[in-house]
């Protein structure tokens, strides 16, 4: 068989995948509708993860399909450099209207990773435009995930995403994560303990001086590392410290955006307003790759103070504000509004919480965490075999018709916002059965 054969799996180097393991026993999805995938064997697979945290409106929504089809037939592509097309401006206006007052300018990207690197570059250029070019240091957080660009893995704090790629960006420091199992295990919703961890930013300011620090970036809820929640008052304290020292605060809402917590964004849920928000995933419900950075009026106006007829920010992408992606985004926002999906997620969240915490007595469960329609089941690792127990659970759940996601020995869950109680029951009944079967 030649390498060009359609049946040969070798050509595709799969991302974040044990390629040899997968290709020895492939799990191929061939269809998707509403809450379910269908695999190559014809089995229905309940989507417990909204794809990869992204298909918030579910799969195969006719409204999105129609919008994409009409747009690609009318105009497949338009350049975004010194040119424009109506749908990008319309989508930017719609997104701006969803933001708290003062967060009102949108820069389009194609992914969460690009959104993060864009926000970091804007932060650096903003301080330079203000005459504070010494502010070059970027502060992330241990166990943070901010995509896979060099900026994102530099401010990120997941060791496996960092250790193979050299020294990364210079001038980056990290605050501690907020996972305190000795105090907060099996918390329901926002944990009580750990607010003081935000004060580590003051220590970093003392070490480096505020005049060298451009921005702090955090996920309001750290998703890909295994659902780590901010303690009560933590984000408020971070905001206060950043404001005190003239440091920009960036919320990475690639996961928490578009209803995942039962509100439009985490900034609404927590009542804390950053200077920039990064987003992607739910922006188009996963239908077409697209991301964005929303920044404050102050940041935008600072750039617009440049001389007339000059490019204010030397940054962008061939596909920034792509017309087909913009059409998908507009249709997705329509679905969220017309079907009240954010409110629906908020209403389902207590049932989700109870179902998740019903697993407390299952074998090897050492912690349970939840907020909105996000859940984490942390399992005790097999000595000498980290990740093995959770991965076995992943395979067995798939065999039983439920798609879960694992990170380390943590099962992470985030169903589409169209989920019903029967779907919640199936997800957790299946996980309970599987946890009883594995060692």
**% the chain with pLDDT above 90:** 97
> 287 CB contacts (<8 Å, ≥6 apart)?
61, 64, 65, 68, 328, 332
Phi then psi dihedrals of residue 22, to 5 deg? -60, -45
Tell me which CATH code domain 19-57+340-437 carries. 3.90.1150.10
Looking up tokens 């009026």 gives 297
Helix H or strand E segment including 376:
strand 374-379
Residue 240's pLDDT band (boundaries 50, 70, 90)? very high
- Tokens (6 digits) for 174: 């990290």
Q: How many CB atoms lie within 10 A of CB 190?
A: 18
CA distances (Å), 33 to each of 154, 259, 280, in order?
Answer: 37, 20, 21
Topology match between the domains 19-57+340-437 and 66-338: no
Task: Name the 3-class secondary structure at 273.
Answer: coil
Give 380-430 pLDDT, tens digit per residue. Answer: 999 999 999 999 999 999 999 999 999 999 999 999 999 999 999 999 999
CATH 3.40.50.720 at 66-338, yes or no? no
Q: What is the pLDDT of residue 436?
A: 97
What does the alpha-carbon distance between residue 273 and residue 293 come to, in Å, rounded to a whole number?
14
Q: Is the pLDDT of residue 133 over 90?
A: yes
CA distance 122 to 107: 10
Confidence of residue 7 (pLDDT cuts 50, 70, 90): low
Residue ranges of domains in the chain: 19-57+340-437, 66-338
What pTM did the predictor assign? 0.97
Spatial distance between the Cα atoms of 27 and 10, rounded to a whole number of angstroms = 15
Element spanning 107, H or E: strand 103-109
Among candidates 338, 332, 344, 314, which has minimal Cα distance to 415?
344
């Amino acid at each position: 068989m030649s390498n060009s054969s359609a049946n040969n799996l070798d050509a595709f180097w799969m991302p974040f995948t044990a390629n040899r393991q997968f290709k020895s026993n492939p799990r191929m999805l061939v269809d998707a509708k509403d809450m379910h995938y269908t695999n190559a064997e014809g089995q229905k697979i309940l989507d417990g993860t909204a794809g990869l945290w992204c298909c918030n409106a579910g799969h195969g929504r006719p409204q999105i399909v129609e919008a994409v089809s009409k747009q690609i037939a009318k105009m497949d592509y338009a350049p975004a450099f010194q040119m424009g097309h109506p749908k990008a401006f319309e989508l930017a206006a719609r997104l701006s209207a969803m933001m708290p007052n003062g967060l009102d300018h949108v820069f389009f990207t194609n992914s969460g990773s690009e959104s993060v690197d864009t926000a970091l570059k804007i932060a650096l250029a903003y301080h330079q435009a203000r005459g504070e070019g010494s502010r070059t240091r970027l502060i992330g957080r241990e166990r943070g995930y901010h995509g896979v660009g060099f900026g994102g893995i530099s401010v990120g704090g997941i060791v496996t995403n960092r250790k193979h790629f050299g020294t990364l960006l210079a001038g980056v420091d990290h605050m501690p994560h907020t996972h305190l199992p000795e105090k907060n295990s099996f918390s329901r919703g926002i944990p009580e303990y750990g607010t003081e961890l935000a004060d580590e930013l003051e220590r970093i300011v003392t070490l480096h001086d505020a005049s060298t620090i451009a921005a702090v970036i955090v996920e309001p809820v750290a998703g890909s590392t295994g659902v780590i929640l901010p303690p009560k008052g933590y984000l408020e304290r971070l905001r206060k410290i950043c404001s005190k020292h003239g440091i920009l605060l960036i919320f990475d809402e690639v996961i928490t955006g578009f209803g995942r917590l039962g509100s439009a964004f985490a900034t609404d849920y927590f009542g804390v307003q950053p200077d920039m928000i990064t987003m992607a995933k739910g922006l188009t419900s996963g239908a077409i790759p697209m991301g964005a950075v929303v920044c404050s009026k102050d940041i935008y106006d600072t750039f617009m103070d440049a001389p007339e007829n000059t490019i204010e920010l030397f940054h962008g992408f061939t596909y920034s504000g792509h017309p087909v992606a913009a059409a998908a985004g507009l249709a997705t926002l329509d679905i969220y509004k017309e079907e009240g999906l954010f409110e629906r997620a908020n209403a389902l969240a207590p049932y989700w919480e109870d179902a998740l915490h019903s697993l407390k007595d299952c074998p090897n469960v050492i912690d349970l965490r939840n907020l909105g329609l996000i859940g984490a089941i942390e399992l005790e690792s097999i000595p000498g075999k980290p990740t093995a127990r959770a991965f076995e659970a992943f395979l067995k759940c798939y065999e039983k018709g439920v798609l879960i996601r694992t990170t380390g020995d943590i099962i992470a869950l985030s169903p589409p916002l169209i989920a019903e109680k029967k779907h919640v029951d199936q997800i957790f009944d299946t996980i309970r059965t599987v946890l009883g079967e594995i060692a």
